[in-house]
Each structure stands twice: as C-alpha cells, then as structure tokens.
Chains A and B, each alone.
Chain A
C-alpha cells in the first residue's frame, strides 16, 4: 500500500484541501456548492438532514455511506429532482432552493443516475447531441427552418464526436442506446453529461454493475474531469475506487454527514467504521447466527474468527457495506489501501 501512495502525485484538489481540518461541516477554501440545514423526511423517516457541507471547486469528492444513508436522496435534492422540507444551498453563486431540475442543469450542475438512463431508441450520437445546451433548433418554430440550426448542429456533432473518441465509443455512434451493454451505457451517460459543459458533475454510482476492465477506464475518465475545470461529486460503494480517486471523502449515515476528510483520515475514523458495521463492532456476539431450533450445528458457525480490533477498517477498505459477518471482511492485509496507521 505504501508504494501506491508514493507513486500517486497529489492532485490539485488534494493540495487545495491539504490544510482543511477533517471534521464534518468544515469550510473549504473555494467552495462551489454550499449546503445549509437541508432536511428531507418521508413520513417519519428523516432521509437527509445535512447541517452544513461545502464542496471544494475542482476537487473529486466522494460521498459514501451504508445503504439507506440518504446519498441518492441528497443527490436528488441538490439537483432539483426532489424538494427538501427546509434548507438552502448555493451552487456557484446561484441559490438553488425551489429551482427546477432543468435549470439546475443549465447552471452547470449535471447529474447521472444510479439506474442508467441511456435513451434506448435514440442512437449514441443522438444521445450525445441531446446533451448540448442552448440549441437554437430546440425551439418549436425555429426547428421548422433547418437554416437556423444546421450550422450549430454541425458544431455540436463535432464536439460529440470528440467526446466519443475520448470515451472510445466513436465506433458505436450509430448504435441505439438500448443496444449497448450496461457498462457502455454508463460511459455514454457520463459522456452525454459532459456535452452540457457542466462545472460540476454528480455521478450516482458510476461503477455499479460495470466489469473490472471498464471500471478502470471509467475511473480514468472521472480522474480526468478536474483537468477540464469540472468539480466531481460521486457516490460509490467500492472502497478501492473511493480511496484511489477521491481528494476528499464525505460520509453519510442515517441522513447526516458523520465525517469528512481526506480518504486516509476517513478510513481510520471510528465513527465511520461504526456506521458501516454497526456500533459495538468489538462485540461479535450479535453477528453469530443463532441456529434454528432442530437445525444441525454447522461448522461455519463454530469457525467464526475471533474479533480483532481493526477489522472494521478492513471491512470498510474492502468495500464491505455488507454485514455478512466479520470473517468475510478480513482480506490479505497488503491489499488494503492506506489509512490504517
């Protein structure tokens, strides 16, 4: 793990955040998104309750947390797909409270979805061209006269072509969105989001269900985004990915921000470990399954590994939001990314 840390040159985002104290709600030197007291409840359940959060411009921030922590709801709130009960948030100087989703996108905050939304019966190229904003031909009367929009359309097509080449999808420009594989759809959705020329990209589980080879390529694209003046916030469950590419990690649990900081600091944070595998993780008795009455005593139950002090960190590093049992979380120690001093 040591050599990974030394070979990786710190990114501009990481450098800018180097002196920021890793505590929830800490101010950032140059925030692009500032969130204040945003709360959203569904009946009795408080899905999101964020007191204060700032996201650094030009940095890659990842949002992690166990299932049901409110990450996707938080995404929906920020991008106008859902309305909070209370709270304000500002993006790049725009007050976004009560702003519709399409306007949020026009201000430069563009999201992708956990369940990929490739437009199935449009070609890859049409998918891409849709992303461009300010198209003259998208007005109903102007659209009747091709002379008004043909030149702009050609420019858009050129830009789309460049992006497709960058994402290595140019050979499938005429295929329909629905004909792509799951991973290719993820790539297309990300490339399409970039057509909007956003200043901030919000990626909801961009690697979910993508094979490892494509994950690497997706990862490289995400890492590239800050060099195109884009800020990235993404939700991810794969801790290797999170540790690898984030400049900053924000941890949510039960709707709240419970921790934030550089990846290494967050991985070692006691509260984060608690959130992932439950409080009192030293006490393993609650993980020991009680055999059903009359069931034969299985060997597995007896072979539960003895609890170890830092297995929470191992679980976390392994991407283990799973609560299957302590024995599964422990992988070979040398595969763990940095974070355990």
Chain B
C-alpha cells in the first residue's frame, strides 16, 4: 500500500508541477494551430525557445526588469510566427509543417553556436543569476510565500515550486478562458471552417491568409509563454533542452486530451506527466532494470498508451466521437 501511495504521490506531484504547466500551455498553442485551424506546426519547440531566450536575454544580459522580458518573449514568438507564416501560409499545409520543424532546429543550432555566445551563452545557455538581478531573483522576490514546505500528507511543495505552480496554473486558466471565448465566437467559426476546407471559407469571402496568420501568432505566443514558464521554473535555460521531441510531447498531450476541445490540452498534460512520473517511480521500486534504461522505458510506456488510445479512443479523452468518425 505504501508503495502504491509513493507511486501515486510522484505522479500527482509531477502532474500539478510547473512542467505540466509548460506542456499544457504549449499544447493549448498547438490546439489553436492544429486542433482549430488545421495548421501543422511541427516546431512548437521553436516558439518555446524564442520565448524563453527572449525573456532570459532581456533580463539577464540586458538587465531589464522581468515584465520587459515577458513582453520581449511574446514579441519574439510573434516575430517567429510572422517569419514562418508569411512565406508558407499561402501554400499547402505541408509547407508550414516542413518549415516549422526545420526552423526550430535551426534556432537551436544558432543559439548554441559560438558567435551567438555573448547573447545566448552558447551551449551552456543562460543561468538565471547572470547579469543584474537575473530573472529568478525578481521572480522569487515576488513570491509571497515564506521559505518552507507546504502541503498535506505526501503532497508537499517547496515555496518556490508552490509559487511557480500557482502562477502557472492561473495563467493556464486565463489562457483557457481566452481560447474558449475566441473559439465560440464567429472568429473561431472561421478558423474551424479553414480547418475543414479553406477554399470553402475563401469562397464565402473570408480572408483565409489573415485568419491563419492570426491563429499562427496566437498559438505561437502560447508556445512562447510555455518557454518562459520553463525558463522561470527551472531557473536556467540551455539550447539543448529545446529538442524536437518536445513538440511531439506537446502533440501527445494534445491528442491524449482531445484536439479541438477546450480542456483537452490541460487534461492531457496532467495525465501525461502523471504517467511519466508514476511509471518511473514504479520501475525504480520494482528494480527490474538498471536505472539508465528507466528513462527510455517510461517513454515507451507512454507511447504504448498513446497507440492504445488511438486504437480505442481516437478522439482523445475529451474529444467528440461523432466528429471523429467523419472523414476529412
């Protein structure tokens, strides 16, 4: 029984921790892109990267206040969306997919290259305390909770983690509210019509390119916010955190929860990180394999779950079966 509680505790801790917030935000962004507009963005991690570095460079290198850094992160992801969207959104959907996955990798290599080191810290990234107050210092100074551990029973948080968790989930709720307002409006209806058939939308007088661009920017900014959340909760960023698989984790989160649903990405992120952490703990306790193979094994386990989900519940946990059976 104690073993079960330990496993569950690890899962729950991870599911409500800042990492789950990061992936919930990234997946909500992808939901705007893929779930509602039908845009195939395979480079969400690129938006996370520019968001995180936008914040870190502004605050740590240029020694600006934290709020300026947040604005810089949002502007950086907007700019990336414009750069990616302008040449590709008039073309077929696959061109955006190819450009985004390539752009995310290009960004990672540029940010870790030696010429960029004065701004990005090269392969070692930007530790939060570099320059001025650094971004975690401002962040921690805002923390209203005195030092210590908070929680009940087996569920406890340090004061910094509690602070990040509360702010993070508040942001997620706010974002969910905004996305809900947008998607139930006529604007959201146009996005969905573009997902179904953009020529039909065009024939009805909708400026498809402008709507796709707005959706790409909105989802990209949400990706950027995920990146900023990552930078703040980890108190450091390095380019090699932003590997392409992060995008696919975010897709996994979205599809598990249910694409084109309001709560899908949030539920998906909770579930994803619960599974990852509890499977890891279970593998450690059962002692069936050397610790080095546990990391890949827990991912394989999530992969199997995803395959099963696709086979038996392709619409995700919250999706609409009725919509799913329709082709195209």
- Residues of A whose CB lies within 8 Å of any CB of B are 79, 81, 100-103, 105-106, 110-113, 117, 119-122, 126, 129-131, 133, 135-140, 142-144, 146, 149, 153, 176-179, 192-193, 195-196
Contacts and interface: CB of A to CB of B under 8 A. Distances in A.
The CB with the most chain A CB atoms within 10 A, among B190, B197, B204, B328, is that of B204
A144 B203 contact: no
Contact size class for B?
Answer: 20 to 34
A121 B187 contact: no
Given A130-B193, A143-B185, A143-B186, A192 B323 contact: no
Interface of B: 178, 181-182, 185-190, 192-193, 195-197, 199-208, 214, 218, 260, 322-323, 326-328
B66 to A, nearest CB: 26
B202 A102 contact: yes
A176 B326 contact: yes
27 contacts: A79-B203, A100-B207, A101-B199, A101-B203, A102-B202, A102-B205, A105-B203, A105-B204, A110-B204, A119-B197, A121-B196, A122-B189, A129-B186, A130-B190, A130-B193, A130-B204, A136-B186, A137-B186, A138-B190, A138-B206, A142-B187, A143-B182, A143-B187, A144-B181, A144-B185, A177-B196, A195-B204
B326 A111 contact: no
A136 B187 CA distance: 9
Nearest to B192: A122
A139 B211 CA distance: 9
Contact of A120 (B185, B186, B196, B202): B196
Contacts of B189: 122, 126, 129-130, 138
B204 A193 contact: yes
B326 A121 contact: yes
Given A135-B186, A143-B185, A105 B202 contact: yes
Nearest to A134: B205
A144 B200 CA distance: 25
A193 B214 CA distance: 25
Contact of A138 (B186, B197, B323): B186
B204 A196 contact: yes
A113 B200 contact: yes
Contacts of B188: 143
A119 B186 contact: no
B136 to A, nearest CB: 33
Nearest to B218: A140
Given A140-B214, A179-B326, A112 B190 contact: no
A319 B167 CA distance: 69
Contacts of A79: 203
Given A119-B192, A119-B193, A133-B205, A113 B199 contact: yes
B204 A192 contact: yes
Given A121-B192, A122-B193, A138-B187, A143 B323 contact: no
Contacts of A149: 185-186
Given A126-B189, A178-B328, A117 B207 contact: no
A193 B196 CA distance: 16
Given A113-B199, A176-B323, A144 B178 contact: yes
A14 B190 CA distance: 39
